[in-house]
Amino acid sequence: MTATPRTTLGKVRAHQTQNEGLIFEKSSPGKRAYKLPPLDVPDVDPAALLGGAYRPEPGQLPEVSEIEVIRHFTRLSTWNYAIDLGMYPLGSCTMKYNPRVNEFVSRIEGLAEAHPYRPESLAQGSLEIVELLQRCLIEITGMDAITLQPAAGAHGEFTGILLVRAYHQSRGNPRKKVLIPDSAHGTNPATAAICGYEVQNIKSNPEGGIDVAELERIVDEDTAALMLTNPSTIGVFESEIHRIADILHAKGALLYMDGANMNALVGKTRPGDFGVDVMHLNLHKTFSTPHGGGGPGSGPVACKAILEPFLPTPVLVRKPAPATTTPTTTTPGAPGPSHLGTGETTQLGWSFDRPQTVGRVRAFYGNYGMFIRALAYILANGPDGLRQTTEDAVLNANYIRAGLQDLYELPYKTASMHEVVFSDKRQAARGIKTGDIAKRLIDYGFHPYTVSFPMIVSGALMIEPTESESLEELDLFIAAMRSIAAEVESNPDLVKSAPHSTRVSRLDEVTAARKPILRWKPTA
């Protein structure tokens, strides 16, 4: 295989747009992006109207024309890598393609412009979307109840462990500690700590799973829960999961599953069926809603019936429909009202009557626009399509594993699920680290994989292609990684000093984080 770096395009782009300066540098006094007609009403004095709230000096904003604004921000946008540009193999993050049908549906006027304070009787269509998504996610996870409120995975963890705490508290004792494997995502121990628990680490076994004998030894009446990622961050399915659940339940402890890796399970197996009591989903990972800057995220929490009384309020319920709510007019394009007044005796609505609730965790009902996108994705694929998605994600990860394992060290030989974790052991012997290889990958037109995580692998290269990638794209990626492995042998300095195709090469990441320069000062 020969690598075909996409640098030709990259270089042209670099030439045209990579030297874009600050928008303040383009500013010249009096320039405007618009022109308004002269006032045809009496002028007012804003200072008199607004009093102390009026700022006499205008803020120091750049003064530019419309095309300057457009070009500036469009050029900046080309500095970013995106899933719409190419493969984004950032392990653990499931950077899959966001299908345009999701965007289309979420922009339908009646959905996009529905107001959260609209009376329930006029919001039945919007609420049906919430209800149907909840039913789909409950079916997919095999759980009994769900809240869609949390705004991200970490927020879901927080909500889930609050449920655990409220459950134990209701039985007289919140308990003291939460067990977390050494391979866990950093948000897991952070969540446990912020919910008032001590974190106790559990070592992984040589297959990358939980050391069950060790677990059996340390679970006691002070254990509130185990937080387990399955498949683990090594990309390995926890085959002892039933026994793990039994060990916990025997001591009255609960099993929390970090569901960030559900892209390996959807349609194949259900956490509710293998003993999980509570879990979160990342709609922005598994269910194809936009990720990171394209967010916001959404981290629903699904649980078993024993935890349901503690769910955040409000909870979606069916209530008797008040006789007086039949609307006489309907808003064009607004979902819902059309079927009211046809003798329906119940309607969907929010219930706050939950004496044991942990309380609200998010304004309104969560990031509603993400619910529409996730539901569109689920319905567009259907059960068979979702299962196929899972199989393709696992197949793609294993294709990359097979294509690279002769050149990169594979610390865990256990079967890979949706991601594969190599280490830089062989390259490090020549002074090249995982971070160097990742930077060089940028020159080949790919977003880097996840670097140095999980922590139980020294010099980790964590690669998650997702089901989105075609065979051609996977081959291109493998070719790039193989080419870099060859460069490590023949020209290590080239790798060590990468990237060479970007606006700036290596940033001082520590100083950038510790001493950020956030304010532009005009030079006289």
Ligand X SMILES: *Cc1c(COP(=O)(O)O)cnc(C)c1O
Q: Which residues bind ligand X (CB under 6 A)?
A: 92-93, 152-154, 185, 187, 229, 233, 258, 260, 282, 297, 299
Distance in Å, CB of 462 to ligand X, minimum: 10
Nearer to ligand X, 445 or 448 (CB): 448
d(CA 213, CA 203): 11
Burial of 154 (0-12, 13-18, 19+ CB in 10 A): buried
Distance in Å, CB of 152 to ligand X, minimum: 4
Distance in Å, CB of 368 to ligand X, minimum: 17
d(CA 239, CA 254): 18
Nearer to ligand X, 258 or 277 (CB): 258
Nearer to ligand X, 287 or 477 (CB): 287
Distance in Å, CB of 62 to ligand X, minimum: 33
Distance in Å, CB of 153 to ligand X, minimum: 2
Nearer to ligand X, 138 or 260 (CB): 260
Nearer to ligand X, 136 or 154 (CB): 154
d(CA 165, CA 159): 10
* Cβ-contact 90, 449 below 8 angstroms: yes
Nearer to ligand X, 89 or 297 (CB): 297
Nearer to ligand X, 289 or 347 (CB): 289
Tokens of 265: 């399970």
User: Scanning the structure block, which residue is given the tokens 């922005």?
Assistant: 284
From 223, 297, 306, 310, select the one nearest 272 (Cα to Cα).
306
d(CA 32, CA 62): 10
**What are the φ/ψ torsions at residue 328 (nearest 5 degrees)?**
-95, -25
Nearer to ligand X, 122 or 393 (CB): 393
Distance in Å, CB of 257 to ligand X, minimum: 10
Nearer to ligand X, 291 or 440 (CB): 291
From 127, 117, 121, select the one nearest 372 (Cα to Cα).
127
Distance in Å, CB of 430 to ligand X, minimum: 31
* Cβ-contact 360, 158 below 8 angstroms: no
Nearer to ligand X, 282 or 423 (CB): 282
From 298, 293, 285, select the one nearest 367 (Cα to Cα).
298
Distance in Å, CB of 56 to ligand X, minimum: 43
User: What dihedral do alpha carbons 275, 385, 297, 353 form, nearest 10°?
Assistant: -60
d(CA 380, CA 368): 18
Distance in Å, CB of 82 to ligand X, minimum: 18
Nearer to ligand X, 151 or 474 (CB): 151
* Cβ-contact 248, 226 below 8 angstroms: yes
3-state helix, strand, coil in the chain (%, to 5): 40, 10, 45
Q: Tally DSSP H helices, then E strands, for the chain.
A: 16, 12
Beta-ladder partners of 147? 301
Q: Which residue is nearest to ligand X (CB)?
A: 153
Cis upstream peptide for 150 (omega within 30°)? no
d(CA 396, CA 147): 32
**Buried b / exposed e along 416-441 (16+ C-beta atoms within 10 A):** bbbbbbbbbebbbeeebbbbbbbbbb
* DSSP state for residue 524 in the 8-state scheme: -
Distance in Å, CB of 160 to ligand X, minimum: 11
Nearer to ligand X, 185 or 447 (CB): 185
Sheet strand arrangement including 301-303? 145-147, 301-303, 278-280, 254-258, 223-229, 177-181, 198-202
d(CA 469, CA 95): 11
Tokens of 466: 């997702």
Distance in Å, CB of 185 to ligand X, minimum: 3
Distance in Å, CB of 154 to ligand X, minimum: 3
Distance in Å, CB of 143 to ligand X, minimum: 18
Q: Annotate 261-291 with three-state secondary structure.
A: HHHHCCCCCCHHHHCCCEEECCCCCCCCCCC
Nearer to ligand X, 90 or 129 (CB): 90
